[in-house]
Amino acid sequence: MCDMEALRAVADRHNLFIVEDAAHAIESKWNGNAPGHYGEYACFSFYATKNITSGEGGAITVNDEKQYELVNMLRLHGFNQLAVDRYTSNYEKYDIGMFGWKCNMDSIHAAILIEQLKKIDAYGRRRKEIFDRYTEAFSAIDGIELHTIRPEAQHAYHLLTILVDPARRDDVMNGLQERGIGVSINFVPIHQMTYYRERFGFRKGMFPVAEEIGARTISLPLYPKLTDEEVEYVIESVREVVGSA
């Protein structure tokens, strides 16, 4: 997580709400506080690539009763009652009080999620083991830079990304894929995407830090079912490819 206390201070100074994008951060903390502690809303994703998954779907947490009622209405067409309430309670006329969407999670995905949540601690421990082993190995390899973790932050261990020379990044990617390693580029700066360039007039050079990371980053395999042997194969392959690319 980022410095949520500094962000909260800015929001309070300007009378703003904070909507936390916690899609990758369900296990993360800042100074011991989980997502949703500092913001009015925290949004979580349970898509298939996330640490805890229901296959599809997500969740929103709120810290205010009125906001809770608002989210409940917005997620289901603006109805003031859930469908189940209309069939299990004494009849009350229901109404649509505002424009809403169809964003409620169905029972099948919720059942999958309930079982996944029981594994969150065990999955987190295994992810941390792999993350720590990668960090130990890659810290000693020339040509690789790792992101630092601030002491106030608890990492979610969703991804392990390495930074390499941008002129060599694609060659490193190709070399790892040729060895059967599933690598990816997760962070292409959004302001470089066609829609945002054309809609908002963004151009290269406006966000140089994001652009540098986007040009250098590679995401390595990190999931609980990775075996120790597979982790060592990834490390050795990265060492060989970075050294020869």
- Residue 173 and residue 165: Cα distance in Å, rounded? 12
Answer yes or no: do 139 and 204 share one domain.
yes
Answer yes or no: do 107 and 128 share one domain.
no
Answer yes or no: do 97 and 160 share one domain.
no
Answer yes or no: do 108 and 146 share one domain.
no
- Residue 234 and residue 219: Cα distance in Å, rounded? 12
Answer yes or no: do 228 and 138 share one domain.
yes
Q: Tell me how far apart the 2 most distant CA atoms of the chain are, in Å.
A: 72
pLDDT, tens digit (0-9, with 9 covering 90-100), for 88-128: 767 778 888 889 999 889 999 999 999 999 999 999 999 99
Which of 84, 117, 150 terminates a domain? The answer is: 117
Whether this prediction's pTM lies above 0.85 is answered by yes
Answer yes or no: do 109 and 146 share one domain.
no
Answer yes or no: do 94 and 148 share one domain.
no
pLDDT, tens digit (0-9, with 9 covering 90-100), for 206-225: 999 999 999 999 999 999 99
Looking at the chain, the whole-number percentage of residues with pLDDT higher than 90 is 83
Which of 117, 144, 166 terminates a domain? The answer is: 117
Domain total for the chain?
2
Answer yes or no: do 143 and 227 share one domain.
yes
Residue 26, number of CB atoms within 10 A of its CB: 21
Domain that holds residue 51: 4-117
Answer yes or no: do 133 and 216 share one domain.
yes
Classify residue 112 by burial, with Cβ atoms within 10 Å: 0-12, 13-18, 19+: middle
Answer yes or no: do 14 and 88 share one domain.
yes
Residue 220, number of CB atoms within 10 A of its CB: 22
Residue 127 and residue 224 in contact, taking contact as beta carbons nearer than 8 Å: yes
pLDDT, tens digit (0-9, with 9 covering 90-100), for 160-178: 999 999 999 999 999 999 9
Answer yes or no: do 128 and 107 share one domain.
no
Q: Domain of 238: which CATH number?
A: 3.90.1150.10
- Indicate the average pLDDT of the chain: 93
For the chain, counts of helices (H) and of strands (E): 9, 8
Answer yes or no: do 29 and 51 share one domain.
yes
Q: Domain of 24: which CATH number?
A: 3.40.640.10
Q: What is the pLDDT of residue 245?
A: 56
Which of 56, 85, 117 terminates a domain? The answer is: 117
Looking at the chain, the whole-number percentage of residues with pLDDT higher than 70 is 98
Residue 138, number of CB atoms within 10 A of its CB: 19
